[in-house]
Structure formats: C-alpha cells, structure tokens
Amino acid sequence: MTELFFPVEARRARRAGFARLVRIELLKLTSTRLGYGLLAVVAVLTPVWTSIAASGAGGSSGGPQPLYTLAGQTTVIAGGVWSMIIAMVLGVTISSGEFRHHTATNTYLAVPDRNRVLAAKAVVGAIGGAVFGIVGCVTALAVGLSFTAAHGYRLVIGAGTLADWSVGRVVGTALLGAIGVVVGSLVRSQLAAVVGVFVWSLLIESLIGGLFPAVRPYLPYSTATTLAGTPLGEAGFSPASGVAALPFAAATALLVAIALAGALVAARTTVRRDIT
Amino acid sequence: MATIQIRGLVKRFGPVTAVNGLSFDVTPGTVTGFLGPNGAGKTTTLRILLGLVSADAGAATIDSRPYRELPEPLHKVGAVLEAAGFHPGRTARAQLRIQALAADADASRVEDVLDLAGLTAAADRRIGGFSLGMRQRLGLAAALLADPEVLILDEPANGLDPEGVRWLRGLLRGFAAEGGTVLVSSHLLAEVAQTVDSVVIVDSGRLVAQGPVAELTGGATGGGDLEEAFFQLTRKASR
C-alpha cells in the first residue's frame, strides 16, 4: 500500500512534451470504434461512388463524360472525394467528443494548457485525415482504373498527374481533418458540428460558388477537392466554369491558414471557457 | 507534502454567486470533508482549485501554486470529479493507459491500480457497461496512477456498494496516514463522519464552519452528531 502511494522514484518536474500529447490523442482515437467506423465508411463509399460514376459515364442522364475522354476519366478517378468530408467529421469528433462524453475534465486535468491540447488534436486530426486520404485514393484509383481497363480504353491521364492528385488528395484530406478539429472546438455540439460540415461543404459552398464564381477557389472544401484533381466545384452542386483552381502550393497554404485562423479564434474563445 | 489553500475565492455565473469569498486550508496527513447542501458551491470550488473554472476573485493553490502552473499536475494531484467522465466505448485498461501516458507514469502502474480498485477482471470491458460504482472505482484508480500527494474527490461514494464504501474509507485513511492530503466533498454525512478528520462546511458559497469533527460536534464523533451539527450550522447561516 505504502509503495503504491509514494514510490521512491523522483517526481518528474517537466511539462508533457508535445510528442507525448500527440501520442495521447492518437491513443484516444485508436481506442474507440468511431475512427475505424469512419474509415470503413470511406473504404466503402469511395469505391461505390466511383463505380456508379464509371457505370454512368457517357450516359445521357447528365453523368460524367465518356470514360475514354480526359474529362470522363478525371471525374471518375478524382471525383470520389468522400474521404475529405469524412475526415472533417473525424476531426469534429476528436474535439467535440470531449464534451459529448464529458471527458474534457480528465483531459484538462492531465494537460491544463488547453491550447497545446488543441494543437495536439489538430495534428491527430491531420494524421487521421491522411490515412483516410490514402484509403480514398487507393480505392478510387483501383476502381477507376479497373473500369477504364475493363472497357479497353487507354488511360489518357498521365502518371505524373495521377501522382500529383494522389499526393494532393492525402494533403487535402489531412488538412480538412485538422480543420474539422478546429470546427469541433468552436462548435461544441457534436451533432451541430457534423451537420454543419455537410451543409457547408455540399450546400453553402455550392451556393456561394454559384453566386460568386470568383470566390469559389478560396472556399476550403472546394479548394481541398481541387488538390485531389477534382475540377473546381464538381464535388458540390454547382461546377464552376471559367474559373481556375488555385495552384497546389497556394491551395495548401490557404487551407493551412484557415486551420490556423480557426484555431486562433477557438483558443481565444471557446477553448478558454469554464469546464463545469 | 502539499497544502491546499483557498483564499477569498469568488465565482459568479451571471446573476448567481456560486462561491462568495471562500477561504480555508487543507493540510497534509488529514482527510478533510467538504460539506454543504446542493448548490452550496462545493463542486465549483473544486473545479476552480483544479483549473477547470476560472475564479472572478481570490486564489486557489496546491503547494502554493495554481493547478495550471504545476509542472506535472497528475504527479501532484489525483482528482475524481465526475464518474461519467469516461468514453463509454473505451475499455477500462485503455482508459488507464491513456492516463498513464498523460501522467508519464510507468505502464505497469495500470495493472497495479486496476488491482487496487478491484477492476482487473473487468479491465477489458467497455466502460459503457460499467455500473456507477465501477466507474467510481475506475476514477479512483486513474487518480492514483501517478502516485499523487493530494487527492481531491467530488462525491466519491456515490454508487458504491457497502463493500465499496468500506474500501474507499480504507483507501483514504491509508493515503492520509502516509502523509497525503485529501479533500473529499460529500453529502453522505454518516459516511463522512467515519472517514474524515476535519470538515469544511459551506452554504451559499460562504464558509459556515471549519475544524475537526470532534470540535464541531462537541466531542461526539458519530454520524448522527455530525448530521445534527451540519443542520444547525447551515440553518444558522441561511437565516
């Protein structure tokens, strides 16, 4: 009993290193089923969407262009970016889940510096997002290329472009995962935050992009999807015409800036609130 | 060993003053009961002490430092504030591993505290299936992971069966006997009377009385005597 309470070993007098905070958040993420469930959603939804798009390519009902064209192959291979929205949902659950399950008390007792906790969660949101991006990329490529080959069409997208899209999909999904963490910190209601992610990404960005096409390249979800090769606006409901997507570096920088700005706002507002 | 100091603490939630100029000390080697009716400000005071709620005025320190400034807080303070504060989909062992990592405690401590709390057999079950008493035990196990010098517990006997209450009593007495500092809020006065050395009684956010149990009850130490003293003191304060 005595040894249990007061062992001889000296007390450590240093703050938890940031790498340890990231490990803690990773352990939290991997010790429940939600993250795996969302990953399964990505692994199922992406090939299903890609299969439907490939099957309807060249049809007369407003589907993608024929699969032997560049536009058709682009839509089929680069269009299934569900992993990006699901990564945002993952990020939301990483942060708002602390309030949904009342675990924030234990979290902040262990690490009283809440801004460091937020930063660690954002890193883990990005790591989780990157994994989602890899799974989404592999499944979309596998299904899209399989359909193209099965029809005997030549792949008109260059290998270099496919590599760029793959890297872009992983980077974009990772950054949206981090942005999701920030959203979940700003909106503590998990349900509201998750619904908000879908409404913003699919409806509001489509609306804003439709009304003000010049703004579309600067909207976060639209921008992230262009990193994966999706034509600007095609992941929403109002494809943009005549407006160019941002270059890779600019789009990445924009998403990083949005994540940092949101984190700054959260750190100065919601993150400081009393945990009652 | 660490002393808890509360000095002139004030906390308002809108028009409601939850804590109103509260001051008291908790010394090492003692179990101190923190008593008061519902809404007296006990939980708010504990949350301010633990850096979870910010005070409008005054100071709350452990070992002369605010909780947020403690270098390795889990090595100084073990706290249980809410039995529901665990992810229901996580196993007890996973929960303790996370907290061991957070405390930079040796992984072997997880098995030690599971054994101490009598949860070894349930360690790989999801917490969502735990009874309230099992959650309380898990909270106490987590609080003890990093061998703290101070224990701060909010209603720890809630949900515990008679055997669990007895176990808790022995745990707290043993902890204090080794020089630890214990502050435990409760409304189970009969139980408190058997466990604590001294009490701090609050009502409407103000200090009503503080001192050894025997002193407040006029020398008697039974649960009924503490209950009588508690009602007399809080009634007098509310007049």
The pLDDT-based confidence of A234 (bands split at 50, 70, 90) is confident
Q: Which of B52, B111, B150 to mutate to test the interface with A (most CBs of A within 10 A)?
A: B52
Yes or no: say if B98 and A118 are a contact pair by the CB < 8 Å rule: no
DSSP letters for A97-113:
HHHHTT-HHHHHHH---
Contact criterion met (CB < 8 Å) for B67 and A112: yes
Spans of all domains in chain B: 4-63+149-238, 87-148
* % of chain A at pLDDT higher than 70: 92
Percentages of chain B per state (helix, strand, coil), in multiples of 5 = 40, 25, 35
**C-alpha closest to that of A125 among A168, A172, A180:** A180
| Range 55-94 of B in CB contact (< 8 A) with A | 67-68, 70-77, 79, 81-82, 84-91, 94
Residue A229 CB coordination number (10 Å): 23
Q: How many residues does the structure list for chain B?
A: 239
Pair type for strands B198-203 and B31-35: parallel
Q: What per-residue confidence (pLDDT) applies to A191?
A: 96
Q: Which amino acid is at B83?
A: A
Structure tokens at A241: 């015409």
CA distance B143 to B77: 8
Query: Is residue A115 classed exposed, middle or buried when 0-12, 13-18 and 19+ CB atoms within 10 A define those classes?
Result: middle
Residue to substitute from A5, A27, A111, interface B, most B β-carbons within 10 A: A5
A275 inside 8 A of chain B by CB = yes
Mean pLDDT, rounded, for A6-34: 76
Provide the chain A residues 74-93 that lie in CB contact (below 8 A) with chain B: none
Q: pTM score, two decimals?
A: 0.91
pLDDT (tens, 9 = 90+) of chain B, 239 residues, equals 789 999 999 999 999 999 999 999 999 999 999 999 888 999 999 999 999 999 999 999 999 999 999 988 999 999 999 777 899 999 999 999 999 999 999 989 999 999 999 999 999 999 999 999 999 999 999 999 999 999 999 999 888 999 999 999 999 999 999 999 999 998 888 888 889 999 999 999 999 999 998 888 776 555 568 888 888 877 776 66
DSSP characters for B135-181? HHHHHHHHHHTT--SEEEEESTTTT--HHHHHHHHHHHHHHHHTT-E
The answer to whether residue B213 neighbours chain A at the CB level (below 8 Å) is no
* CB proximity B44 to A under 8 Å: yes
Chain B residues lying within 8 Å of A271, measured CB to CB: none
Q: How far is A191 from chain B (nearest CA, A)?
A: 17
pLDDT of residue B60: 97
User: Which one is the CATH code of B4-63+149-238: 1.25.40.10, 3.40.50.300, 3.10.20.440, 1.10.3720.10?
Assistant: 3.40.50.300
Provide the token pair at B85. 């504060």
Given an 8 Å threshold on Cβ–Cβ distance, is A11 in contact with B54? no
Q: Is the pLDDT of residue A2 over 50?
A: no
Q: B208 near B202, Cβ under 8 Å? A: yes
CA B17 to each of CA B52, B186, B207: distance values in angstroms, whole numbers, following the listed order = 17, 21, 14
pLDDT in tens, A193-215: 999 999 999 999 999 998 999 99
Sheet of B16-26, strand order: B16-26, B4-13, B57-62
Residue A214 to chain B, least CA–CA distance (Å)? 44
What are B171's two structure tokens? 């745990």
CA quadruple B87, B88, B89, B94: dihedral sign? positive
Give the least confident one: A30-39, A235-244, A256-265, B183-192: A235-244
Q: Which two tokens stand for residue A191?
A: 């349900």
CA B197 to chain centre: 14
